[in-house]
Amino acid sequence: MTGPARVRDIVIVGGGTAGWMTAAALAKVIGTQTYSITLVESDEIGTVGVGEATIPPILLFNKLLGIDENEFIRETNATFKLGIQFVDWGRPGHTYMHPFGLFGADMNGVGFSHYWLRAVAAGGDPDNHRFVAEAEALRLGRFMRTPQKTPDKPQINYAFQFDASLYAAYLRRFSEKRGVKRTEGKISTVARHPESGLIESVTLADGSTVRGDFFVDCSGFRGLLIEGALQAGYEDWTNWLPANRAVAVPCDRVEDPGPYTRSTAVEAGWQWRIPLQHRTGNGYVFSDAFISEDEATAALMRRLDAPAQAEPRVLRFVAGRRRKGWVANCVAIGLSSGFLEPLESTSIHLIQAAISKLLALFPTTRNEPELAERFNRDLDLQYESVRDFIIAHYKVSTRDDTPFWRHCRDMAMPDTLQAKLESFRARGEVMVENHELFRETNWFAILYGQGLVPEGYHPLADVLSDDELKLRLAGIRAGIERRVAEMPSHEAFLRQCLEGVTRR
Amino acid sequence: MTGPLDVVIVGGGTAGWMSAAGLVGVLKPDQCRVRLVESDEIGTVGVGEATLPQMREFNDLIGIVESDMMRKTNATFKIGIEFRDWGFKGSNYVHPFGAHGKAMGGVAFHHQWVRAGQQSRVADIGEYSYAIEACRKNRFDFPVDDPEAINSTYNYAYHFDASLYARYLRGWCEARGLTRIEGKVNDVALDPQSGDVASITLESGERITADLFIDCSGFRGLIIGQALNVPFEDWTRWLPCDRALAVPTERSEDFAPYTRSTALEAGWQWRIPLQHRTGNGYVYSSAFISDDEAMTRLLGNLDGKPLAEPRPIRFKSGRRTASWTKNCIAIGLASGFLEPLESTSIYLTQVAILNLLKLFPRSRIDPALAERFNRVVDNEYDRVRDFLILHYHATSRTDSELWRHCREMDIPDTLRDRMALFEHRGHIAQYRDGLFSPPSWLSVFVGQGMRPTGYHPMADNLPLETVTAGLEAIRRRVSERVEAMPMHDAFVRDYCAAADMVPA
Amino acid sequence: MSRKVEQVLIVGRDAAAWLTALALQRAFGRTGVTVRVVELPSLLGPADVYAAVPSLTALHGLLGLNDHEVLAATSGVPVLGQRFSNWSGAGKPFVHGYDTQRVAIEDLDFLQFWVKARAEGLKVELEDFSLAAAAARQGRSPVEADGTQVETPVAPGWHFDGRSYVDLLRRAALSAGVEGRAAGVQAVSREGDRIVSVTLDDGLTVAADLFIDASGAEAVLIGDSPGAEFESWRDAFRADRILVASAPALTPLPGHSEIAAFPAGWLGLFPLRDRTAITAVYDSSVMSDRDVAQAIPVLCGRPVIGEVTVEPFAPGLRPGWVGNCVAIGGAAVALEPLDAILLHLIHTGLSHLIALFPVDADQMPEAPVFNAGFASHVRNIRDFQLTHYALNRRFDEPFWDRARDVPVPERLAERFRLFEARGTVAIYDDESFQEQNWTSIFVGHGLIPRSYTPLVDRVPVEEQMAKFRGLLARVAEEVRAMPEVESQFGGAAR
């Protein structure tokens, strides 16, 4: 080989959400004029996609693709999502929300939560949700986009809940329109260059070969390329996140679906409830060390709000992360790169994060070890911070009513999380690094929501006079109430979005 | 604090030695170091001196034992001042250190006295005053504590030899480590920058620096007037007397517990009984009588054999506009002069000293301290001034030019309003700070011949018979109890006989 | 011989009119003076409150009003002080407690010792040595439900429901022999500076020897008297509105009023048995009436119930006695209801009037003396109020920046200077507030003396510390001996 060959042919192994999101993004950004993009998938292999919930950065992805949001909503049976409602997490009978919005507004450079803690310490309203527009709208089942962002009307932060299969199909149409080639087939073997170890091609079950310069492994848990061929290794986080099974089942739609995902802590894990336009996604994430698959399935079915629309499907996983997501000329995106339970709806976000990172570090040649190293380091940090955030839900709970919850109570936690909890307990502060997805406002929502009440707060929050604090708090609250009062119900707004958009 | 403040008192005499005793007796050596400069060549004004009851507070503060002090200063007791010929020739009243009667029916005694007097005959107001009756009978005893007892309704002061008192204090101070420097001050040097007094230079050439200079140099005002040029506010237009002749006479048999003041054609004559002799003097206005005539008048009006040549004294009524200026505090005659008609000289000195102690600077002189000092001292002078003017102005004497002048002169508004309200309705406002209290004003108003035309309307709430009976009861109690008092001379002999006291 | 004052006609309303009527009736009724009241329509709404400093107790004593009956009739509660919050931004609130004694060590004001100790590192606040402040903070007062008081050196101030208090005064005055008539004034007949008679809107013409104008800011009689020009104090006090409202009763009842600064002025919370009276005094150019009304529930942390009323306010003073007419209360002086001063201003006017009640119906040389004395009193009170404003430490807020920047009267400036220099309060004649009061608010607002009198050093340090400990222990003990306001006037007692 004379000189390093430039990357021209890109092969995505595996369809599903990760595969088609990657394909769509590449098609949009690098195009298919100078690059060829091939996606290999098999109709035989089912995708995991059920009802899927997202977080607000999805809007950036949509924007990147330039898709019409209303059309997207129609095509994916999407609903709007303002946050997650956590039921029975801190203690049985207790409910809190993790809304997408900012908690109040910072003042004099000090986070709002500190002022709020001061007000609560002085006997103020301990309902933090009143100070988050999204939480208030969520509570009242209302929704509206922000027509024009102004200082007194900051953006309403939202995301979607949609049918993942429809989303994949939607993106497939988007990608194919832009020249992405879809190849039907199951991978049988992976060919690597004997010296460089670079992947040269994949061979399909029918014997055909798909050659490529750069491979994206979207093959799911199995990690056909990244693990199967390249043996990147897997870091197991079960000691911190004991859940290793999920059973999922759709049921009939509920009337007037709230603009939120519900997560209910149950005996050996938790259940999701994701309302879509046409049905509701349900699932039970559990640890088979504490409940059998059958028992869990029975429990899930028993607790459905409406008749099931299909047979429950069991998924098995191991919480953890691929030790290296980019090895040689292959990048793992989606479940092949790691798995974190969807408690905070981070799956699609982690796909999106990997795609962005891949685009940012897009390789010139087939072998770019420095870029790979950088990619891996950045993605590791992302994974770890999301991991800590999820663990916090289990750790910060007073539940001890089942062996599962007692196990959670007693289990170790990462030092990084320990440090965050300690600083939060001392003065309501969580030090968040730049790269972290969940910011102070998110940590506050869940830690406080789970029942961890800080013993103090930032000393500079005392600098504001009492009346000024009360007036500002009231001003924020009144502004939120005014804004929410203007909003139609979620259902009505959805209908409005769907009008005038014809279904394909 | 940066070490003790260095204080130099310029001038001995009563003011100088009282200041020294105040500072040495009250402050600690690490707070101030006191030196006093005086010259034996300069005579002091000290003659027989009469005091006010406040004197006792001063003695108590620094820890002087009364009987010891009295013994060594030939002192006698004083419970009032007798004024002869003031309201008209032949009139006689006593301004007592005590009350007249007691309140009846919610109004001050004198309203009922005036009311009763309009309807029937009442006794002279003096007969309702325990102190006055004691004066009339030449009796003295210490007042008792029981406020219900008639013999608790007065206070007492002293007559003493002022030179002996100064000597007494000098001994007292020197025993406590005060440095006395013999010498005459030749020059005062000011700091060109600050205008503060930098040093004084003695005739001997010795230069003395200090942080604080107390000017007790007498009328001259060596520092306050000559060096700092602090103006003197002249009150001659209200208080025309500007000369005095002082002469001691042999001790008289009449050992009165009061000072006597007799109005003469061009002023008045004092008579102060001491244990060993009697102090006399004629305070007169040089505008209305020559020095020779005054001398003749005085010598012809003595009730005992003169023990020396009459000594002339010149003065001017008024005060410095700012007794505390820069780092100089004028105390005594250097700060102002008011004729001794109401024995206020030592009182005014004492007020200055007590306030200096309260406001004594720590390390630096805060202008607010001087401002306060001057405010208090000014107020005291103003109050006394009005009271003195009253004696001259409220008279029906027209037998000489001085009295005709005084009857017709303009008086301060404050005094004019006071007199008008007293005449109209017996009203005497009480002020918070400074001499004199309503009983003093009452005694002089009435003594000088003023009779209110009205009285407080609330007096009528009490039936007249009750009032007349009440008045009579008080009069009887006074007169009966006074009879039980020891004679003044016997009391003095027992309590504090001076070594050279002539046996009675 | 002078002609006695026999006919007194009071034209006015509310507490000023009826306190005057009752006071004059009690003082002079038996001496042949007839006291009549022309009662103008009340300006009080259901939300109004009268807050009083402790001196009112003495006035009630003279008027023959019994504490127990007054409290029962007016939903009243005793308080041992006022808590000032937010006047220094986020600084600590302080309580101006109603102590009757100045604490002293060997005849020296305790403050002097405190200043020294503080300079040497003592961390205990001056307020902690105030019995009244400590009791107030703990919700206690010496007053028992039956009106009797525990023996202790504090004196309670009071909160009364406005209308009930006036009803009580009216009843007491009428039953004491005052003649009352509800009417308006149609015309005032004058001769020079004297008033001859007043013609009412029901046609009746009433002549009198002495007229009292107790009509409030309307100044229905004195307003047109020659030489009774109103001296405006708008430059010093920028607030131009007074708003009153009510909130639900506080449980437990606190031992103090709450006086809280906010961006446009201050807000007073005056607990009563059955409600909390709210008064807001503010500058409407900083916050509109509507904004203030909306801010009140936020600032109080409680909902507003019932009616909210707003009245304009113009501070100032006029000569209160002209000819044969004497103004009492708002007709003579308009000050903010800060420091619970309104009834006290009436009381002060009455004290001066009773002391100088004219002896001659035809000439009243008392007038200038009354005016000088009353004005001097009022100016000292004004300066006390200005102290709160002048010493505020709320920065970057126009209302408060201005309040700090506007020059204070020279006498007050001198008080500040002296206190800062030496911890001494300059006290003049005609003071309503005594050294302990001035000291409390000076220190509370952060004016800390730079030095103390050297006389303090005469007391050995160990002895000083022992005295400090003793004082704190005594405060704690005396506070414990006082009942909780809630137990006497709240909860079950309601």
Token couple for A149:
């962002």
User: CA A196 to CA A189: how far, in whole Å?
Assistant: 18
pLDDT band of residue B500 (cuts 50, 70, 90) is low
Contact across the interface for C359 and B457, Cβ inside 8 Å: yes
C354, C359, C431: residue with CB nearest B425: C359
Q: Give the pLDDT score at C29.
A: 94
Residue B393 to chain C, least CA–CA distance (Å): 20
Asked if B466 has any chain C CB less than 8 Å from its own CB, the reply is no
Which of A125, A466, A469 should be substituted to probe chain C, the one whose Cβ sees the most C Cβ atoms within 10 Å? A466
Beta strand pairing call for A313-316 and A245-252: antiparallel
A461 interaction partners in chain C (CB closer than 8 Å): none
Give how far A118 is from chain C: nearest CA, Å. 12
Question: At B207, which helix (H) or strand (E)?
Answer: strand B207-209
Dump strand ranges (E) for C133-218: 157-161, 179-182, 185-191, 194-200, 205-207, 210-214
3-class SS shares of chain B: helix, strand, coil, % to 5:
40, 20, 40
Chain-wide mean pLDDT for chain A? 92
| Residue of B427, B431, B467 for testing the chain C interface, max C β-carbons within 10 Å | B427
What string of DSSP letters covers C50-79? EEE-TTHHHHHHHHT--HHHHHHHHT-EEE
Contact criterion met (CB < 8 Å) for B372 and C368: no
Q: What's at B467, amino acid-wise?
A: V
pLDDT for position A44: 76
Mean pLDDT across A148-170? 86
User: Residue A123: which pLDDT band, with cuts at 50, 70 and 90?
Assistant: confident
Cβ neighbourhood burial of C91 (10 Å; 0-12, 13-18, 19+) = buried
Return the pLDDT at B45.
55
Asked if C31 lies within 8 A of B461 by C-beta distance, the reply is: yes
pLDDT at residue A378 is higher than 50: yes
- pLDDT value for A2: 45
Say which of C33, C354, C359 has its CB closest to residue B424: C359
* pLDDT the model gives residue C2: 81
Question: For residue A257, what pLDDT is reported?
Answer: 84
Predicted confidence band of residue B498 (pLDDT cuts 50, 70, 90) = confident
**Which value does ipTM take for this structure?**
0.91
In terms of C-beta density within 10 A (0-12 exposed, 13-18 middle, 19 or more buried), how is residue B420 classed? Answer: middle
Write down the residue that tokens 């000819």 correspond to.
C323
Task: Quickly name the fold that domain B5-76+160-234+318-383 has.
Answer: FAD/NAD(P)-binding domain (3.50.50)
Q: Could you identify the residue written with the tokens 């009773």?
A: C354
CA-based torsion, B283, B289, B292, B293: positive or negative: negative
Exposed, middle or buried, B413 (CB in 10 Å: 0-12/13-18/19+)? Answer: exposed
The pLDDT value given to residue A48: 54
C476 touches chain B (CB under 8 A): no
Structure tokens that stand for C309 in this block: 């009323």
Angle, in degrees to the nearest 10, between helices A415-427 and A440-450: 80
Contacting residues of A for C89, CB less than 8 Å apart: 463-465, 468
Query: Nearest CA of chain C to the CA of B26: how many Å?
Result: 7
Which pLDDT does position A51 carry in this prediction? Answer: 65
**Fold exhibited by the domain A9-79+162-235+322-384:** FAD/NAD(P)-binding domain (3.50.50)
**Residues of chain C found within 8 Å of residue A470, distances taken between Cβ atoms:** 298-299, 301
CA dihedral B156, B159, B160, B161 (to 10 degrees): 160
Number of Cβ pairs < 8 A linking chain B and chain C: 108
Nearest to C453 among B358, B421, B461 (CB): B358
Looking at residue B362, what is its pLDDT?
Answer: 84
- pLDDT tens-digit series, residues C387-440: 999 999 999 999 999 999 999 999 999 999 999 999 999 999 899 999 999 999
Low-confidence stretches of chain C (pLDDT < 70) are 1, 492-494
- CB pair distance less than 8 Å for C89 and A462: no
**Segment B28-81, tens digit of pLDDT:** 888 899 999 999 877 655 566 899 999 999 999 889 999 999 999 999 999 999
Ramachandran region, residue A34 (left: φ > 0; alpha: ψ -120 to 50; beta: rest): alpha
Q: Respond yes or no on whether the N-terminal peptide bond of residue C252 is cis (omega within 30° of 0).
A: yes
User: Beta strands A313-316 and A279-286: pairing type?
Assistant: unpaired
Give pLDDT, residue A5: 75
Residue B171 has pLDDT above 80, yes or no: yes
Please report residues of A whose CB lies closer than 8 A to that of C299.
467, 470-471
Q: Is there a contact between B5 and B35 (Cβ–Cβ < 8 Å)?
A: no
Q: Is C366 touching B (CB cutoff 8 A)? A: yes
- The pLDDT, as a whole number, for residue A46 is 65
Mind listing the domains of chain C with CATH numbers?
7-76+159-234+315-381 (3.50.50.60)
Does residue B78 carry a catalytic annotation?
yes
Nearest chain C Cα distance for residue A461, angstroms: 9
CA distance A254 to A83: 18
- Does A335 appear as a known binding residue? yes
Do the Cβ atoms of B366 and C30 come within 8 Å? no
Q: Between chains, do A471 and C295 touch, taking CB under 8 Å as contact? A: yes
Cα separation, B255 vs C46, whole angstroms:
74
Question: How much is the average pLDDT of B156-177?
Answer: 93
- The set of residues, in sequence order, having a beta carbon less than 8 Å from that of C473 and lying 6+ positions away, is none
Ligand-binding site membership of A81 (annotated): yes
Interchain pair C298, A470: CB under 8 A? yes
For residue C330, give the DSSP letter: G
Of A105 and A36, more confident: A36
Indicate which residue of A81, A324, A357, A420 is catalytic. A81
From the list C455, C407, C422, the residue with the least C-alpha distance to B367 is C422
**Sequence ranges of the binding site of B for FAD:** 12-15, 185, 333
Q: What is the mean pLDDT of residues A371-392?
A: 96
C304 to chain A nearest CA, in Å? 15
Per-residue pLDDT at B502: 45
| Residue B207: both structure tokens together | 């230069």
Residue A52 has what pLDDT?
87
Domain boundaries defined on chain A = 9-79+162-235+322-384, 101-156+395-485, 245-316
Tens digits of residue pLDDT in A208-231: 999 999 999 999 988 999 999 999
**Which residue on chain A is closest to C86 by alpha carbon?**
A465
- Is the CB of C263 less than 8 angstroms away from the CB of A462? no
**Do at least 3 CB pairs under 8 Å connect C with A?**
yes
A395 pLDDT more than 50: yes
Residue C252 CB contacts under 8 Å (≥ 6 apart), including other chains = C139, C484, C485, C486, C490, C491
Using an 8 Å CB-CB cutoff, list chain C residues near B369: 418, 421-422
Instruction: List, by residue range, all CATH 3.50.50.60 domains of chain B.
Output: 5-76+160-234+318-383
Express each pLDDT in A458-498 by its tens digit. 999 998 898 999 999 999 999 999 999 999 999 999 999 99
CB contact under 8 A, B357 and C454: yes
pLDDT digits (tens, 9 = 90+) for B328-343: 999 999 999 999 999 9
Return d(Cα B396, Cα B448) in angstroms, integer.
8
Cβ pair C359:B456 closer than 8 A: yes
Q: Percent of chain B having pLDDT more than 70?
A: 97
Beta pairing class for C325-327 and C321-322: antiparallel
pLDDT of residue A124: 84
Q: How far is C293 from chain B (nearest CA, A)?
A: 44
Contact residues on chain C for B456, CB-CB shorter than 8 A: 355, 357, 359
Instruction: Answer yes or no: is pLDDT of A126 > 90.
Output: no
Mean pLDDT estimate for chain C: 95
What pLDDT sits at residue A1? 42
Portion of chain C with pLDDT greater than 70, in percent: 99
Q: Which two tokens stand for residue A227?
A: 């693990």
Q: What is the rounded distance in angstroms from the CA atom of residue C136 to the CA atom of residue C253?
A: 10
- Distance, CA of C236 to CA of C411 (rounded, Å): 14
Contact C90 A470 (CB under 8 A): no
pLDDT at residue B47 in the model: 60
How confident is the model over B189-248, as pLDDT tens digits? 999 999 999 999 999 999 999 999 999 999 889 999 999 999 999 999 999 999 999 999
Contacts of C119 (CB under 8 A, 6+ apart): C452
pTM of the model: 0.89
